[in-house]
């Protein structure tokens, strides 16, 4: 009897061992977004034309996808659940691996490097260039360098039309700056996937030709015209 019980016990252990997922890697989750495909899209408080218009989305803007209701797509619009017509948005997926601690940034536009990060002559009012300049034709798309949140989207000062984003990479907070844009495609408060269009190359603000001025700052945004402050060379993040 004891021998039979021992055999049964060993069989149970063997069976449990076989079905125990030891060392199996977890499957990456996926987050979905939608991109606006028309010049201007009404954002409504509910799924239908009888609901109030609470805002407007521009061509190329991306929003987190929350679901569908009939012919209406539910999105995260400035931190609130809102609805847009499904006819004018395109759904796409982004692996959450893009938000993990091992993620790297991508170069935000296709262009020619015309000024590097580092000491400058002072010709344009600064002796240290806190970012890089990438020359490109007006209207060239500019994309988010990493998954993150838009903290500034406005026309102001030497940057002209510009966007600032906050990112979490490798357990560290980074702020990216995209300046001299011709067009702003995002609003403050939006969460964007890596590679989402935030605007287009332009010549606004203190600029002398169509280009993107791109900066990366560690922890927070601190600017100095004569030293790096907390900026870092963007090329170390690509």
Distance CA 48, CA 129 (A): 50
Strands (E), the chain: 30-36, 40-44, 53-58, 62-69, 72-77, 80-85, 89-95, 112-115, 118-119, 128-129, 131-135, 141-143, 148-156, 160-169, 172-184, 191-192, 197-201, 211-218, 231-232
Q: Is the entire prediction scored with pTM above 0.85? A: no
Distance CA 203, CA 212 (A): 8
Predicted pLDDT of residue 6: 40
Weakly modelled stretches of the chain, pLDDT under 70: 1-30, 94-103
Predicted pLDDT of residue 209: 97
233, 105 Cβ separation under 8 angstroms = no
Predicted pLDDT of residue 98: 46
Predicted pLDDT of residue 171: 86
| Tens of pLDDT, residues 113-156 | 999 999 999 998 899 999 999 999 999 999 999 999 999 999 99
Predicted pLDDT of residue 95: 54
Distance CA 178, CA 165 (A): 9
The CA–CA distances, whole Å, from 51 to 34, 44, 46, 95 equal 21, 6, 5, 33
Predicted pLDDT of residue 35: 86
Distance CA 62, CA 206 (A): 28
Domains, the chain, ordered by start: 30-99 (2.30.30.40), 112-236 (2.70.70.10)
71, 85 Cβ separation under 8 angstroms = yes
Predicted pLDDT of residue 195: 87
The alpha-carbon radius of gyration of the chain (Å, integer) is: 24
The dihedrals phi and psi of 112, each to the nearest 5 degrees, come to -105, 130
């Amino acid at each position: 009897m004891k021998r039979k019980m021992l055999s049964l016990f060993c069989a149970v252990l063997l069976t449990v061992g076989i079905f125990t997922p030891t060392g199996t890697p977890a499957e990456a989750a996926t987050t979905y977004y939608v991109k606006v495909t028309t010049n201007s899209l009404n954002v409504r408080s509910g799924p239908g034309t009888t609901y109030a218009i609470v805002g407007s989305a521009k061509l190329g803007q991306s929003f987190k996808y929350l679901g569908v209701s009939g012919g209406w797509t539910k999105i995260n619009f400035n931190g609130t659940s809102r609805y847009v017509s499904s006819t004018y948005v395109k759904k796409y997926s982004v692996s959450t691996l893009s938000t993990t601690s091992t993620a790297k940034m991508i170069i935000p536009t296709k262009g020619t490097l015309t000024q590097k990060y580092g000491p400058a002559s002072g010709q344009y009012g600064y002796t240290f260039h806190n970012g890089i300049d990438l020359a490109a034709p007006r209207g060239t798309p500019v994309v988010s360098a990493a998954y993150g949140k838009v903290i500034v989207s406005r026309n102001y000062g030497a940057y002209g039309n510009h966007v600032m984003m906050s990112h979490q990479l490798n357990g560290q907070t980074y702020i990216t700056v995209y300046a001299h844009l011709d067009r702003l495609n995002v609003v403050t408060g939006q969460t964007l996937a890596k590679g989402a269009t935030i605007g287009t190359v332009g010549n606004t603000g203190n600029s002398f030709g169509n280009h993107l001025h791109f900066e990366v700052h560690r922890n927070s945004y601190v600017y100095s015209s004569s030293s790096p402050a907390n900026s870092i060379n963007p090329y170390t993040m690509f």
